[in-house]
Amino acid sequence: MTLMIYYLAHSDWILKQSRADIVKSLDTKFKITSICPLEENSEEVINIYNKSILWNTNKNIFFDVLGIIQLRKILSKIDKSDTLHIFTIKSLYMFIFASIFYNKEFKVMVSITGLGFLFANTLLAKVVKFLTRFLIILQINKKVDLIIFQNIENKKDFIKYSKYSNKTRIVEGSGLNTKKIKIKADTNPKTKVIFVGRLMIEKGIYEYIKIAKIMNEDSNLEFYIAGKPDFGNKSSISEEELESIKNSPYVDYLGQINVYEELCNYDILIQPSHHEGLSRILLESMYAGLYCICNDIPGIKEIIMKTNFGLLIKNNDIESYVDAIKSFNSDNELSNYGNAKNIINSDYSVEAIAKEFNKIYDEFV
């Protein structure tokens, strides 16, 4: 029996980067159709998914009226025997807006991979949450049958906000394709420190630049930044700030890198993120053999504690990062790498996460 599942996301990058390997590893009885904008990653998405439906929504606008109207038309064509699987809170909000006064008959599940901008400690996020909360509370238990979280704290925070009371599950991560990751062979003569991620306030880019500036005079250290801004996101750095980073004497800006191939060229990952679902770049860096120094938050601390590999920094304290980098000793810090690698393979790999989703889909549909 063939079972149709629709993956909905407001960006084709989400359905390529975090989901492509899972889709390939699912039981063949599940036929997955993508619903997303077809932009930079369109070729990969079209090739990976059984079918692709174009959703013309502007990912840089939170309340995209035209996108919501088109989504409503797409939803009306989903058969009642099928399942809709939504990724990210923004896509969930757009689904709820699109399905107002619409009696959905198909089943709906949501993967919340991080609470994102809406739960950031900013005035704009607080205003948006306040203005939309009544609608979310009114609709979410009518529209959503299952929510999958990546950590317990995100689950608690979201349920407190939304009053969601239907089924929930915890699935730790989106699945790491460990076969693609090149393993670090040796440490560098000069310790190479790197930040990898979107260049956003909530990812800790400002903290990282402060660390690099403080340690600029240490000739045994080199600091790198890999990633690009997300200019449509309110948390993104500006174009002027990007130019400043490119011209900075404290860091080398790499742009986007192939993390599978290139992470192994560095020694330390710094992750001063303000919030995470379950950090993918932490798992990738750890598996590649980097020592990881990270903010002590949900979505990060679970990985560090389970693997006993890396260091947690309380309250994102800049001086503590500086002290940890100064005291880095590759022989001591990397001694537990083999155990960490085994845990990632068993708990966070594509195979492990696909197995979880096969079970969920079997039970759900």
Least trusted range by pLDDT, from 109-118, 156-165, 312-321, 343-352: 109-118
Output the CA torsion 306→310→313→314 (10° steps): 20
Residues 81 and 169 in one domain: yes
Q: Which pLDDT band, with edges at 50, 70 and 90, does 20 fall under?
A: confident
Tokens in use for 84?
């809709």
Residues 60 and 144 in one domain: yes
Span between the terminal Cα atoms of the chain, in Å: 11
Residues 81 and 203 in one domain: no
Pairing of strands 252-255, 30-36: unpaired
Question: Could you give the CA distance from residue 282 to residue 48 in angstroms, rounded to a whole number?
Answer: 25
| pLDDT above 80: residue 177 | yes
Question: Could you give the CA distance from residue 206 to residue 339 in angstroms, rounded to a whole number?
Answer: 33
Per the rule left: phi > 0, alpha: psi between -120 and 50, beta: everything else, 178 is alpha
To the nearest 10 degrees (0 to 180), the angle between helices 65-75 and 89-98 is 70
Q: Which pLDDT band, with edges at 50, 70 and 90, does 333 fall under?
A: low
| pLDDT above 70: residue 138 | yes
**Model confidence over 236-273: pLDDT tens digits?**
899 999 999 999 999 999 999 999 999 999 999 999 99
| pLDDT above 80: residue 329 | no
Q: Which pLDDT band, with edges at 50, 70 and 90, does 130 fall under?
A: confident
pLDDT number for residue 330: 67
Domain that holds residue 164: 3-175+349-364
pLDDT number for residue 332: 64
Which element (helix H / strand E) includes 261? helix 259-262
Residues 198 and 315 in one domain: yes
Question: Could you give the CA distance from residue 314 to residue 318 in angstroms, rounded to a whole number?
Answer: 10
| pLDDT above 80: residue 114 | no
Residues 189 and 325 in one domain: yes
pLDDT number for residue 118: 67
Residues 198 and 49 in one domain: no
Residues 45 and 72 in one domain: yes
Pairing of strands 252-255, 268-271: unpaired
For tokens 């594509």, the residue is 350
CATH, residue 80: 3.40.50.2000
b/e per residue, 289-300, with b = 16+ CB within 10 A?
A: bbbbbbbbbbbb
Tokens in use for 151?
């950590």
Which element (helix H / strand E) includes 7? strand 3-8
Tokens in use for 2?
């063939």
Residues 323 and 360 in one domain: no
Sheet holding 107-112, edge to edge: 51-54, 30-36, 3-8, 83-87, 107-112, 146-149, 167-170
Residues 233 and 354 in one domain: no
Q: How high does pLDDT run on average in the chain?
A: 91
Residue 141's CB is within 10 A of a number of other CB atoms, namely 14
pTM score of the predicted model: 0.86
Q: Which of 77, 24, 11, 88 is nearest to 50 (CA)?
A: 24
Number of domains in the chain: 2
| pLDDT above 80: residue 305 | yes
The answer to whether residues 168 and 155 touch, using CB atoms and an 8 Å cutoff, is yes
Q: Which pLDDT band, with edges at 50, 70 and 90, does 171 fall under?
A: very high
Residues 192 and 100 in one domain: no
Question: Could you give the CA distance from residue 334 to residue 337 in angstroms, rounded to a whole number?
Answer: 5
Residues 42 and 166 in one domain: yes
Question: Could you give the CA distance from residue 177 to residue 253 in angstroms, rounded to a whole number?
Answer: 26
Segment 67-83 shows an average pLDDT of 93
Residues 129 and 102 in one domain: yes
Q: Which pLDDT band, with edges at 50, 70 and 90, does 125 fall under?
A: confident
Q: Which of 265, 263, 255 is nearest to 181 (CA)?
A: 263
